[in-house]
Amino acid sequence: MRVRKWMKLNPGILITCAALGLWAEMATPVGAAELADRPNVLLILVDDLGYGDLASQGARDMRTPHIDRLAASGMTFTNFYANCPVCSPTRAALLSGRYQDLVGVPGVIRTHPANSWGYLRHDAVLLPVPLAKAGYHTAMVGKWHLGLDAPNLPNDRGFSHFHGFLGDMMDDYYNHRRHGNNYMRKNAETIDPKGHATDLFSQWAVDYLELAARRRDRRPFFLYLAYNAPHTPIQPPADWVQRVLKREPKIDRRRAKLVALIEHMDDGIGKVLKSLETNGQAKNTLVVFTSDNGGQLNAGANNGPLRDGKQSVYEGGLKVPTCVSWPGRIKPGSRSDLMALSMDLFPTVCQVAGAALPGEIEGRSIVPTLLGKSQPPLRDLWFFSRREGGARYAGKTIEAVRRGPWKLLHNSPFAPLELYNLERDPREKIDLAKKNPRVFREMSAALMRQLQRYGAVPWQKPE
């Protein structure tokens, strides 16, 4: 990407050094008029939302007016995929623009080292870094899940402001602990707030937007808002469950709780979007909404017609509801079947913000599609992978590769590879591995080459 004149460093640049001096975040002062021309960016990532778990995605038992309105105001992607069927790897891919294994996060980062399957590489450049260099103020609210200590904390990795939860999941939405540990932080300060986590994250995002509106330097902002809902435990406020049960008397109780948790989150997102309007920021803000993986079936999730769900490399674990809104630039009510991945949001946001890409990334911008222009496929081969422990995985990986309509996958390290033609068989019912040996050989060879590439990257915390 060509670096524009306003990207040049000003002598009065403010440099905030990261932990261990591994790299620095640089906020570049530029002219007020130039800053005003660039949009704010609000990136909303939700946790374990099923492909069919929005009213606008066909859920008849669901009321999600705010997310649905956001989708109607911009472009809905019908063929958007998470990089991984679980949390940490997708977050690493989204924030780095790279396949997660190449930045050291092939699996879930957890509290206990014996069951933690990733360590974010020190040289992975995360999205807030190039945005800060381009003059953006960078902030994160919500679930981090990419490290529990320095140098892998949000402030270490480029966010000027962090207000949220460091860990993987909360054992309780109200006491905010994981294995007895308090991972709630406001920057470096350990905090112990009261209230439902969804309400807290929504309010903290509103607080940040109000502060951004009052800020005198007029820098545009990048706010990464990462909810932990609707991840387990399925723990919505009681009054939200009651309104679902009253409206849907025949609904299964387990499903009712998940519906209530999603609707409660939608209400919080509505408050954040309302704050953009109240503060006069909405007309100049790009808003992205997506999920880190598919819905968890045993929690009551609805992945529409797709096979399986979270943890699986079948379509239900990978395909996620996604929409992008940008007033005056993206046509309201538009839809796209362009296939894209979580990591493609990195170069997309950089292009919109006028930020230079940091070097080698696998992500590809979808800006042409957002602006209504035709765009060729982003890549020929699409890779998905996950490393995990326990008896089901034993520290090994599951993976998939997509080429055109063909998808080769390994959903268990102890089972044979399977081959599907998604054009003819979108529900992945007919394994064609034996009937199409040439396609099987070609795709398995491509997958092995990619796994060899991953194998060169360490993913465990240095001793």
Domain spans in the chain, listed from the N-terminal domain onward: 9-370, 382-455
Lowest mean per-residue pLDDT among 11-15, 283-287, 320-324, 432-436:
11-15
Q: What's this model's pTM, rounded to 2 decimal places?
A: 0.92
In terms of pLDDT, which residue wins out, 414 or 218?
414
Average pLDDT of every residue of the chain: 92
Give the closest residue to 133 by CA, choosing from 222, 206, 198: 222
As beta bridge partners, residue 336 has 77
Q: Give the SS3 label for residue 76.
A: strand
Cβ count near 152 (within 10 Å): 22
- Cα–Cα nearest to 196, from 261, 146, 273: 261
Fold exhibited by the domain 9-370: Alkaline Phosphatase, subunit A (3.40.720)
- Provide the pLDDT confidence category of residue 463 given band limits of 50, 70 and 90: confident
Whole-angstrom CA distances from 365 to 62, 63, 127, 291, 318 are 32, 32, 13, 18, 20
Band (387; pLDDT cuts 50, 70, 90): very high
The answer regarding whether domain 382-455 maps to CATH 3.30.1120.10 reads yes
Q: pLDDT class for 4, splitting at 50, 70, 90?
A: very low
Strand partners, 136: none
State how far the Cα of 317 lies from the Cα of 159, in Å rounded to an integer: 29
Q: What is the pLDDT of residue 37?
A: 78
| Cα 383 to Cα 338: distance, rounded to the nearest angstrom | 16
Residue 205 has pLDDT above 80, yes or no: yes
Share of the chain above pLDDT 90, in %: 90
Work out the pLDDT band at 276, boundaries 50, 70, 90: very high
**Percent of the residues in the chain that have a pLDDT greater than 70, as a whole number:** 92
Residue 11, pLDDT > 60, answer no
d(CA 356, CA 7): 8
Can you tell me which residue has the tokens 């992500």?
363
Rg (CA), the chain: 21
Read off the tokens for 135: 């003059």
* 58 within 8 A of 52, measured Cβ to Cβ: yes
Quote the CA–CA distance of 385 and 100 in Å, as a whole number. Answer: 8
The candidate with the shortest Cα–Cα distance to 35, out of 110, 131, 119, is 131
> 215: pLDDT confidence band, cut at 50, 70 and 90?
confident
Residues 199-203: what's their mean pLDDT?
98
Question: What is the C-alpha to C-alpha distance for residues 103 and 84, in angstroms, rounded to an integer?
Answer: 14
Q: Per-residue pLDDT for 306 more than 60?
A: yes
